[in-house]
Amino acid sequence: MPVVFDYARCGNPTRACLERTLASMEQANYAFACSSGMAAHVTVMNLLSRGDHVLCVDDVYGGTQRYLRKILQPNADIEISMHDFSDIKEFKKSIRPNTKLCWLETPTNPTLKVFDIKKIAEALKGTGILLVVDNTFATPVNTNPLLLGADIVSHSLTKYVGGHSDVIAGGLMLNSKELYDRLYFVLKTMGTGLSAFDSWIVIRGSKTLAVRVKQAEKTAMAAAKFLASHKKVQKLVYPGLKSHPGYEIHKSQSKGPGAMISLFLKGGLKEACAFLENLKIFTLAESLGGVESLAEHPATMTHASVPAEQRKILGIDDNFVRLSVGIEDTEDLLADLANALSKV
């Protein structure tokens, strides 16, 4: 961390305090607090050079894929490929001689795919390829990717760490001093660092992170079990249920299942809209990880920018809904879900 604060864009005491907190959360040596989750991502991407290749998980946050596909690839002549990382042999085949960065989410946004961080890190060992894990959904309460072999951990601090839907911020955590120096140069040059006041807001939210995550998980588990058995739900996806194909992997690398739920309603867009319109406690809104419960329709909201053919491959269909469970009373939230489903 800088010792002398000569210009706030390069660092300030409050941001430094937050960065120490973030490093502690992820058991890292260093951390950066950025002006948004995407600012954190862009900071990392600026380590790349023309002609490099980025290997990205196929199901990734809409903003991340939009940046890769619409800005980085055409403007910087950087190759992008997106693959499912489930089969390690196939994963290794997707690595190219010019691959410099591997981007992973687990669980993914929005279909909640789960991947083995340790195996992926081992597959990349000795290649010089940086493994970046977006840990926003899992949170540092449950998963610490650096301990599993990742080089950089990213977070949208807007979500669980901030926790109150009142700040936009991002974070990067890492252990390498050489990598820290390179990223610091990018951050101070581009101005992607977080302001002092917003840093204070995230510090405030971080103090209750563990309590909020565990309460949200408790309700999410109850909600997932309820939804999984409901006659109007075609399919329920939640890492905490044994029905999830990545259940054992997630259990091996995470202390908890998280509070994100994905479900497919029987029917199509009409049924999804009816469900969403009749929720009273769950708010129809993008974002996630706050104290309040949110529901959204990825195909027309957070992932609308994903090409239709790619959404179809990933299963982001018209009947697909993503829930972010908050910390309201469990019984109230279950009643809200039951009422909304009765209107479908």
Token digits of residue 45: 């991407």
- 221 — phi, psi (to 5°)? -65, -45
DSSP-assigned letters across all residues of 87-122 = -HHHHHHT--TTEEEEEEESS-TTT-----HHHHHH
Please state, in angstroms and rounded to a whole number, the distance separating the CA atoms of residues 212 and 220: 12
CA-nearest of 324, 249, 313 to 58 is 313
What residues does 265 pair with on adjacent strands?
233
Around Cβ 129, how many Cβ atoms within 10 Å?
A: 18
- For residue 253, the SS3 value is helix
Q: How many other C-beta atoms are found inside a 10 Å radius of the C-beta of residue 77?
A: 11
Return the active site residues. 9, 61, 134, 159
Residue 183: CB atoms within 10 Å = 23
Q: How far, CA to CA in Å, does 115 sit from each of 28, 323, 332?
A: 21, 21, 33
Name 202's Cβ contacts closer than 8 Å, sequence gap at least 6: 18, 33, 157, 161, 162, 167, 169, 194
Contact between 250 and 107 under an 8 Å Cβ cutoff? The reply is yes
Q: 210 with 249: CB under 8 angstroms?
A: no
